[in-house]
Chains A and B, each alone.
Chain A
Amino acid sequence: MYAYDEIDRTLVNERVSEFRDQVKRRLSGELTEDEFKILRLQNGVYLQLHAYMFRVAIPYGTLATNQLRALAHVARKYDRGYGHFTTRQNIQFNWIKLAELPDALEDLAKVGIHAMQTSGNNMRNVTSDQWAGVAPGEIEDPRIWSELIRQHTTLHPEFSFLPRKFKIAITASDHDRAAIKIHDIGLRLIRNEKGETGFEVLVGGGLGRTPFIAKTIKHFVHGRDILSYIEAILRVYNQYGRRDNIYKARIKILVHELGIEKFSREVEEEWQQIRNSSLQIDDEVIEDIRSRFTYPAYEKLPHMPDELRQAAADPDFEAWRKNSVAPHKVQGYSIVTISLKPTGGPPGDATAKQMDALADLADQYSFGEIRVGHEQNLALPHVAKRDLPALWKALDKLGLATPNVNLITDIIACPGLDYCSLANARSIPIAQELTRRFANHELANLIGRLHINISGCINACGHHHVGHIGILGVEKNGEEVYQITIGGRADENATLGTLIGPGVKFDEVADVVEDVVEAYLALRERPEELFMDTVKRLGVEPFKERVYATR
């Protein structure tokens, strides 16, 4: 866990009082809605279809139990008793009243949580691997660097009014759980041949109406230079990024229009001017940040405790364990993913009651720590294996033990037309229907790893381009129409999906997905060949033929 010091706390409090003043001026009419809009967005406040929506940052996906309880408190006191975890390690509350927002922010500030820059055209919440610091084989804990960058990007005096939003993600594992290739800047923590820590820097990834996979701009930037290198990228972008058209304003378009070579030359030139400045980070600074991350005092525990051996006889436990429990870097411990995708439920939602109960379980079983992942699930990062059976029982009682992590019903979806003023189509009801269609665990297990991502409009908050099956809702002649893609992925081999045919109506989406799955089951070479691999081997055509043959 990272502990805020007096300096961090002061800044968050100053931000709250600034926002309180801004809300006051808006309510008194001193600020026009147009002026206020930018200010509220910089504090994570959107105006949605029915109410204000409030997006709170969970930097690099790490939460302490008192923080999760504070989120539950906000859900209960200022909202309708639940919150929605997003694809970028944020939580959203959908029914907030403007006049109460400063109080909600103040309550969160007490536990070191803020909503700075969770929307608006600035540097957004820095995200990372939800297994950071506990995943086996990591170069080092990427949260140290995430925190350094979080601080540097917070209220940046030069880059708070960028052409468009700007997202940075960091991973330190070979397997990328942070989706860095679909970020404006993706950072992969690596060691060079001299054993020095640094980053492969990728730039220009992003989804939306013109999706791009990020390209490598520099193969190695030393850790001490990472802030100056990021600053150089941003300075080039701030000056030359397009501001005439909101849909062409992301850095991906600038990189695309200039070409990665020219863009990287511009950045390099700028970087050479600033790399030997006060932006250079010495080891002491890194050590200071590192020293404020605390790690559990792990016990020496057996690899296979008796409790686990005994519980293996219970098929329900085993079904859950196989999908939800992952190896930990310390023997005798596990990382447990908590599915927020119950059958028939909206993906990523958690009630205040669940959040409170989960905080208690984290205190009891996970050294008081919770993680939030981009797949809209939570995780307990340090669970002793001997505690797994007891934890499972407790989770099950809370409706948090759906054994579907990484399976077809572990769906990513945006809020869609049920909440969002940008949406053209509903997302949540599609997800709900799909979780019902594939509710049979044997079937889901037979299908294996398969990610469905759903967006209710071209802005792609549901990451449909990189879903193994992607579903995009659009509006056509006043009707919701859904385009289906297959073959996308967001990991280290990130790829954009390919359209398999004409759009289908709301009622037909689940049928089409069933047909795609059926086609896969018929086409796969052997049960171990995952959906993604079959699509890669055969291409889209055989799927297209089977799915659209009868339509």
Chain B
Amino acid sequence: MPLVSGGKITGDGFVKLAVDTPLPEGGDILVPAERFLAEADALLERSGKVGVIWPNNRDIAELVPYLGKVAAVALVFPTFRDGRAYSQARLLRERYNYRGELRATGQVLRDQFVFMLRAGFDAFEVKKQADAEAFMQTAKRYSVFYQPTGDGRITALHRRMQLRHSEGVGT
């Protein structure tokens, strides 16, 4: 499954651990939430980077004490119909000011990219190769946004105000 990060298909530096996989000596790891919370101290002492895979039915606030220490948070879309992780993503970015990698995993398809970018995701485990290749093109599909989110894109309401004021200058 291709990983898109920084707008490009890249290699994945993280190795995913299951709940019971033995902990490797070094290297960057992505750990399920349950294991992460149980072994946080030991995991964070290692030399490699640590990321956490957070399920979409667990309160994201539980992760807050660790946000300064993890290198990545992977949120899960069990199917693309299930939109809970969009709320988790916005909370991480906008309420808890998380600035590390925010990765979308699960059924990640082309037609969610714009929503995901707006919610704060910056890395995507894309299901289909063709979708991953079309990432940049798809991300530019829309130039108008009605809602303010943490991604900082200017909203339609805001743009109208700017237009109004700039028109007002000359008159």
Contacts and interface: CB of A to CB of B under 8 A. Distances in A.
Interface in B109-146: 109, 111, 114-116, 118-119, 130, 141-146
B interface majority secondary structure: helix
Contacts of B115: 155, 157-158, 160
Contacts of A10: 143-144
A49 interface: no
Contacts of B82: 161, 243
A38 interface: yes
Contacts of B157: 151, 281, 285, 288
A238 B83 contact: yes
B15 interface: no
B164 A288 contact: yes
B81 A279 contact: no
Interface in B141-171: 141-149, 155-157, 159-161, 164
Nearest to B149: A157
A431 to B, nearest CB: 34
Interface in A1-37: 5, 7-8, 10-11, 14, 17-18, 22, 30, 35
B161 A285 contact: yes
Nearest to A5: B160
Contact of A157 (B95, B118, B144): B118
A278 interface: yes
B161 A284 contact: yes
A151 B145 CA distance: 9
A158 B80 contact: no
A350 to B, nearest CB: 31
A156 B159 CA distance: 17
Given A161-B82, A288-B160, A30 B130 contact: yes
A550 interface: no
Contacts of B86: 157-161, 238
A310 interface: no
Given A7-B156, A158-B119, A151 B146 contact: yes
Nearest to A12: B144
A39 B84 CA distance: 18
Given A151-B156, A160-B115, A239 B87 contact: yes
Contacts of B143: 10, 14
Interface string B74-89: 0000001111101100
A294 interface: no
A173 interface: no
Contacts of A238: 83-84, 86-87
Chain A, interface size category, equals 35 or more
Interface residues of B, number: 33
A273 B95 contact: yes
Contacts of B81: 38, 121, 161
A281 B158 CA distance: 10
B90 interface: yes
Nearest to B156: A7
A235 B144 contact: no
Interface in A231-248: 235, 238-239, 243
A288 B161 CA distance: 8
Given A157-B114, A160-B115, A238-B84, A278 B142 contact: no
A127 B115 CA distance: 25
Contact of B147 (A22, A157, A235, A281): A157
A22 B112 CA distance: 12
A159 B111 CA distance: 15
B141 A160 contact: no
Contacts of B83: 158-162, 238
B111 to A, nearest CB: 6
Contacts of B130: 30
18 contacts: A7-B156, A11-B146, A18-B141, A22-B111, A30-B130, A35-B109, A38-B81, A155-B114, A157-B90, A157-B149, A160-B115, A161-B80, A235-B87, A238-B84, A278-B155, A281-B157, A288-B157, A288-B160
Interface of B: 80-84, 86-87, 90, 95, 109, 111, 114-116, 118-119, 130, 141-149, 155-157, 159-161, 164
Given A158-B83, A284-B164, 11 more contacts: A8-B144, A10-B144, A11-B146, A18-B142, A151-B146, A157-B90, A157-B114, A159-B83, A160-B83, A277-B148, A284-B161
